[in-house]
Structure 1
Amino acid sequence: MGSPKAAEESLGGDAAPAGALTAISSELIVRQRAERATEVKREVKRLFGTGRAYRIGAGDIVNIVVWGHPEMALTPATSNRSTGSSSQADVGNGYNVNPDGVIQFPFLGPVKIAGLTENQARELLTNRIAKYIRDPQLTVRVQAYRHDRVYIDGEVRVPGLQTMDDVPMTLPEAINRAGGFTPQADRSSVILTRKNISTEINLPQLTRLGVNPNRILLAGGDLLRVVNRDESKIFVLGEVTVPRALQMRDGRLSLTEALGEAGGASQLTSNPRQIYVIRKVPHDKDEGEEKAEIYHLDAGTPTAFMLANDFELKARDVVFIDAAPVVRWNRVISNVLPSYNTLFVNTRNTTR
């Protein structure tokens, strides 16, 4: 295999400082495998939760029935035409929870029920109304859920607001409510933003680790965005048969696969000993100039592609194959000769 020094010289000497290149070797592959995720990331684990009873919030419509006391209903009880009797169950009794979490209830006036479950609200109202009604029997249920909402954007079929109800909303359920993924969705890059903190979720990776994505519960105010596959492309350039941009498959693509999709290295013009992977390095805004990692593969022998098959690319990587020295020379000559011929002809005309 070629040395990093030779590769640096191929890239242009001073343009590639010592240590800028990392050879793609068996040691590097072993190190990458060790760094590969074997458990769920800590920031994703923070999103795990268990379902709990729905808590009433501002904007919800709450149905409250005091059995045996139709006069406390917001609307008159409906009458049964055949018997002439009224049915309390037919009464539409919806109380709007105002922005302060308060409802206006007969005899009691303003009562704050925001933050309570249905059972807790029932107990509170029962205890208070007992001062006016002997042994009151109440039923409390949320008639319309309007408090907690999540926004789903990106590569789903029906983006927009989704209202949360008494069934805890998991990540897969939220995507299902939005019509599911579009064909251009990148399942390996689902971004959940909560309280201005964004967390990237790799659904195929969770499945490979044996983790059920239903463990991720959404909360009111969450923003869920499914990234387009075009945002995580791989670019194959240089002396390949068909230079192109490639889409990753569920966030994974090996160097061999990328070269194969581009038709492989050109047999006429490429230098298989000089294959590079250029990767942008995350950096702080205060650091100024952006940096890159450059990986070098010497594919002078077919067995080198075994290493390439195990080398996993990352989103926005650039794969570049350098030209053979003789091709470089021919290109220089083809550019120099027309200029030389023009100069020679002009010189001859001047001397005449």
Structure 2
Amino acid sequence: MRRISVALSALALAGLMSGCSTVYRSPAVKAGVSDAGKVRVVAVTPETVLVANRAAYQPKTLPAVFQISAGSGAGASPRGLGRLPDAPSTQDGSRQGLRLDPPPAVDPGPYTIGTGDVVVLSTPSTQGTVAELSGLLAAQNSRNGYTVQDDGSINIPDVGRVRIAGLTVDEAEALLFQRLVESQIDPTFSLEISEFNSRRVSIGGAVGQPGVYPITLTPLTLGEALAAAGSVSVADIDTSSVRIYRDGTMYQIPLEDLYARSELQRLKLLADDSVFVDTDYDLGRAERYFAQQIQLQQTTLAGRRAAIDELTAALTLRRADLDEQRENFSQALELDAVDRDYVYLSGEVRTQGRYTLPFGRKATLADALFDTGGGIAKETGDASEVYVLRASDDIREFGAVTAWHLDVRNAAHLPLAARFELRPDDIVFVAENPVTRWGRTINQITPSLITAPINAVAD
């Protein structure tokens, strides 16, 4: 029996020796010169991270179609009220009793921005209201501002369309502040209205300058409106009156009462009011004037509705085109038909393979190790030997490799991984720990210890 045991031991040793040539040799990073080229190992420290990050690299970007919205470059010019129709001719009439029937006193509330208004984004610099805002908010037209278009929006470069119609100046300023912050633009600005075009009052009849006059941040009173129109010009104050058409109702203020009572002069006018100074008691001339104003407003509203429909159709088509381009790119991305930059994970990581560098930004060593659910394999990896292998771009150093070595046994070194920027074709390598290397060797030797004696006995 002793002879058989000795024989079996000898046979096992022989099998072991014969199987040694097949034992797995794990990879390792070794400094020096080899057949593959020159390898230089550099410890990762705050100083060497700065050196490594100096390597020139411009991340690939998404196609421009992902950076624009359907509203960029689109829009329609606002339709104004147009030319005011000529007022009916002045005629004299006989004196008849004029009844005072003023419109009710109303509070128009704070001014809200509307279609046709021109707003300016101004900085607190000495350059005035047309100064630049981070180089992006310079005025886009000859009036040095942004016109509120038919859909109630303004179009700001690199921000897109922002709907501000119906908002007060403070509310619009707060909304623009939020949109600028979201677009990573310095939001130091103030909002001003440089042209008031959305709220108007038409004035005709016996005035010096018939026309359409704007309502601004300060409410427009009847006395101010008549003064702006060149004041009243009548021959007989007793037969003259101011007639106001508002929301389908005609009101009347005799001129004698208007001049005698200051509260009538302070009546606040509302948007779309029509004021007519009539020298006759007969309402016919005023009615014709108001009918012209109503027809003009209806024509303007119809034009605006057509413009909005046109704009909506154009935006829908543009949005569909952008969606199709984005979908085509996404499909090409899924089919791996888009040129991308990669980093490769090797050694004792949980998932070996390639890590795709993102669009538009630089990735770090921490991204590659942890963003994909990989990380160092805790059972087999050696936390003291984490490397980033980077080949030299200099043709004179062909084959030269720099191995940036990071020891993360001390978790305080992990922030360095979050600062170390990766470059295309970098290889992230984690060496195996000594116990793993020994265990794998034993696993390969064990079959030889078993099978070698059996084969020998069989022979």
- TM normalised by structure 2 equals 0.35
Higher-RCO chain (CA-CA 8 Å, sequence separation at least 6): 2
> As a proportion of its length, which structure holds more strand?
1
- TM normalised by structure 1 equals 0.44
Instruction: Kindly name which structure, 1 or 2, has the bigger radius of gyration based on alpha carbons.
Output: 2
